[in-house]
Amino acid sequence: MRIVMLGAPGAGKGTQAKKIAEKYGIPHISTGDIFRANIKEGTALGRKAKEYMDQGLLVPDELTCDLVVDRISQPDAENGYVLDGFPRTIPQAEALTKALSARNEKIDYAIDVTVPDDNIIKRMSGRRACLKCGATYHLVYNPPKKEGICDTCGAELVLRDDDKPETVQKRLNVYHAQTQPLIDYYTKQGVLFSVDGTQDIDKVFADIIAKLG
């Protein structure tokens, strides 16, 4: 079962990807993890990716696709995988389709976790982080025992720049411009289905499992 996860930043697709991977015994593959692993191991692809990242540049589509294809060729991905964070653009999706068809394979499901922008901005701007020990909280869903103070180490909690409403909106704008077209792409391939990501995490998961069977 080869699955692609789609959804805006903060929609909860990473959480669902992990749960799917666990249930079906297939690897959860995120591009961030692939980059880090290859850089750490000093592979040829990792060294190439690092050159771009060190300059603050995006890793080109072709190289990203090569890294993903290399990862899905590993023995643990023989029975399938959940791709999280890739593809992000139409050129990446086309490169993946081409690489898979060369192996007589294709994506079986593209799952779109849908959450309105307003909900995502509320969700993310409610996050608070402890910069000292790394613990994270949410003002509504997981508040600290004492307002503004970390339960674990007693340090002050902050709203990270990434989670500020204006930053979140910018990220959502990029998502809609670049990644939204993938929804059409996978709809045309007949493999896309959507789930309502505003529901409870377990309900979203149950809806996904009902479709995957």
Instruction: Provide the domain count of the chain.
Output: 1
Q: Is 171 a catalytic residue?
A: yes
Structure tokens at 103: 């192996």
Cβ-proximal residues to 208 (8 Å cutoff; 6+ apart), any chain: 16, 20, 111, 195
- Show the domain range for 174: 2-212
State the pLDDT at residue 185.
97
Task: Give this prediction's pTM.
Answer: 0.83
Q: Could you report the per-residue pLDDT of 41-58, keeping only the tens digit for each?
A: 999 988 988 888 888 777
Tell me, what CATH number does 41's domain have? 3.40.50.300
Residue 146 identity: K
Catalytic residue among 19, 88, 123, 128: 88
Question: Is 127 a known active-site residue?
Answer: yes
Q: Per the structure block, which two tokens stand in for 28?
A: 């959860």
CA 80/CA 63 separation, integer angstroms: 22
The closest alpha carbon to 84, from 43, 34, 123, 121, belongs to 34
Partnered with residue 30 across adjacent β-strands are: 84
Q: Check pLDDT > 80 for residue 23.
A: yes
Whether 13 sits among the annotated catalytic residues: the reply is yes
Q: Is 154 helix (H, G, I), strand (E, B) or coil?
A: coil
Set 36, 103, 106, 160: catalytic member = 160
**What percent of the chain is modeled with pLDDT above 90?**
68
Q: From the candidates 18, 122, 164, 171, which is the catalytic residue? A: 171
pLDDT in tens, 61-106: 888 998 999 999 999 999 999 999 899 889 999 999 999 999 999 9
pLDDT over threshold 90, residue 35: no
Q: At residue 118, does pLDDT exceed 90? A: yes
**Strand 109-114 relative to strand 2-6: parallel, antiparallel, unpaired?**
parallel
Question: Which of 2, 13, 71, 128 is the catalytic position?
Answer: 13
Q: Which long-range contacts (CB under 8 A, 24 or more apart) does 200-204 make?
A: 201/12, 201/15, 201/16, 204/12, 204/16, 204/113
- Please report the pLDDT score of residue 101 as a whole number: 95
Residue 47 annotated among the catalytic residues of the structure: no
